[in-house]
Amino acid sequence: MQVQVIYVSRHGASKRYAEAIAEALDGEAQSVEQVESFWGDAIVFVAGVYNHKLNPDMLEFIQTHRSDLYGRMWAGVAISLIEDERTWNGGKIGGPIYVRQYLGLFDRPPLALANFPGAVDLDQLTEEEKSNIQELFQIMGEDPHSVDNVDTEKVWTLSNRIKEIARQC
């Protein structure tokens, strides 16, 4: 099975996950800027979450190439600070919310959806974003710098699921 892994990464976490997923699937990781064509049996999209939405560059990329992606097998990964669904400031936040944002972008169901923990580089954020992140981590009782490594177990679980479902298609 040939897999193209396409990512958008502001702080490096999405790129690191995309490369790990590509390695696990014997595929190739490419940033959206590098993509010249779509190839392979499946495409895995990897994007970080900003302001409780998938990276807008990834959403725009998928919308722009919607006709080229029609009918393709795909999987979506969201890299976020919060893995589980929570309520914050009166709204729902967390991985399951973010990863479902992929669903309306494609004409067929995904091979898999996953949310992985990702790092944040506070130095690259606006003052408002920094304040929001620090408040969120305070509520969680964690340090914003505590999430930084690729969770290889989650990568292998996702990769094996993609392989298994793709074989059945």
Alpha-carbon distance values, 35 to 76, 81, 82 (Å): 17, 27, 29
More confident residue, 62 or 129: 62
Distance from C-alpha of 85 to C-alpha of 74, rounded to nearest angstrom: 23
What share of the chain has pLDDT > 90, as a percent? 40
Check: CB of residue 115 under 8 Å from CB of residue 107.
Answer: no
CA distance 140 to 114: 21
* Structure confidence at residue 146 (pLDDT): 58
| CATH architecture of the domain with residue range 3-121+150-168 | 3-Layer(aba) Sandwich (3.40)
- Tell me the sheet residues that pair with 88: 91
Q: Provide the H-helix boundaries in 9-151.
A: 13-24, 56-64, 66-69, 95-99, 127-140
Strand pairing class (86-88; 91-93)? antiparallel
Collect all residues with Cβ–Cβ distance below 8 Å to 167 and sequence separation of at least 6. Answer: 1
Residue in this structure with the two tokens 């936040």, named with its chain if needed: 93
- pLDDT tens-digit readout, 77-135: 998 877 777 777 787 777 777 888 889 899 999 999 988 877 666 666 678 877 877 78
CA separation (Å) from 18 to 13, 119, 158?
Answer: 9, 14, 12
Q: Which of 1-10, 61-70, 83-92, 138-147 has the lowest mean pLDDT?
A: 138-147
> Which position has the higher pLDDT, 116 or 69?
69
| pLDDT the model gives residue 98 | 80
Of 18-27, 51-60, 108-117, 149-158, the poorest mean pLDDT is in 149-158
Structure token pair of residue 21: 């997923």
Place of tokens 């790129």: 15
